[in-house]
Chains A and B, each alone.
Chain A
């Protein structure tokens, strides 16, 4: 059974600070990893994808992957009130040539940025 674990929160962070979101996964064969942002009443929106160990930066967002520890994280620098949302971690066991099993999602972390 593939599982993805996240702290449900809420995680409260002051505006301008760094928000750190964490995720662990159980399936060692997982090859691709995603962070989605979901505002209340809206659909999940892709923020970052990461496939290799290390850091990947995109604007204010940095994804970190450690396959040995089966750990993925998302850092949000200079947090803004508009970053307040639920952040979903997702894993896919296949990097290419399939993945038709779909993504396995964590239950999400509710992030609140305090003005």
Chain B
């Protein structure tokens, strides 16, 4: 009965690889997000997705692309992984674009 779930929990990969992280919410929320938390624990918005409208934080490299097959899912695909992409990635969802509920996070390590 997990509200916001992510897979995988841990992801270790080599530089240059392409990887995806999946997110699902069973709360019926309309808006979903991806956040990145770096090694200094700073949590920053990457993307939000609402009714097929994608809002992109301008600082996010275009190697990152969110994909939403339906309202309950927002996946994150990353091309050509770099060392600096190592971080914890959190998915979140919100019923009205305000209070946000976070998934458990995916710890990505790029070697």
> When A43-B104, A43-B105, A44-B90 are in contact, do A101 and B99 touch as well, CB less than 8 Å?
no
**A32, A34, A43 — which one has the most chain B CB atoms within 10 A of its CB?**
A43
Report the separation of the CA atoms of residues A86 and B98 in the bound assembly, to the nearest whole angstrom. 21
Tell me the nearest residue of chain A to B97, going by C-beta.
A99
> When A43-B103, A100-B53 are in contact, do A32 and B45 touch as well, CB less than 8 Å?
no
Residues of B with C-beta under 8 A to A100: 31, 48-50, 53, 55, 97
Residues in B43-82 with C-beta less than 8 Å from chain A: 43-45, 48-50, 53, 55, 57
B110 shortest CB reach to chain A, Å: 19
Residues of B with C-beta under 8 A to A77: none
A99 shortest CB reach to chain B, Å: 3
Tell me the nearest residue of chain A to B42, going by C-beta.
A107
Instruction: Determine, out of A18-26, A52-60, A65-73, A89-97, the stretch whose residues face the partner at the interface.
Output: A89-97
B94 close to chain A: CB less than 8 A? yes
Residues of B with C-beta under 8 A to A112: none
Of the four ranges (under 10, 10 to 19, 20 to 34, 35 or more), the interface on chain A belongs to: 20 to 34
A115 close to chain B: CB less than 8 A? no
B31 touches A99 (CB 8 A): yes
Tell me the nearest residue of chain A to B105, going by C-beta.
A43
Residues of B with C-beta under 8 A to A104: 45
A102 touches B102 (CB 8 A): no
> When A43-B104, A49-B99, A96-B98 are in contact, do A103 and B41 touch as well, CB less than 8 Å?
no
A109 shortest CB reach to chain B, Å: 11
> When A100-B50, A100-B53 are in contact, do A105 and B42 touch as well, CB less than 8 Å?
yes
- 6 examples of A-B residue contacts, CB within 8 angstroms: A92-B98, A99-B94, A100-B31, A103-B45, A107-B40, A108-B43
Q: A44-B43, A96-B98 given. 6 additional CB < 8 A pairs? A: A43-B102, A46-B100, A88-B43, A94-B97, A105-B42, A107-B41
Residues of chain A whose beta carbon lies under 8 Å from any beta carbon of chain B: 32, 34, 38, 42-46, 49, 86, 88, 92, 94-105, 107-108
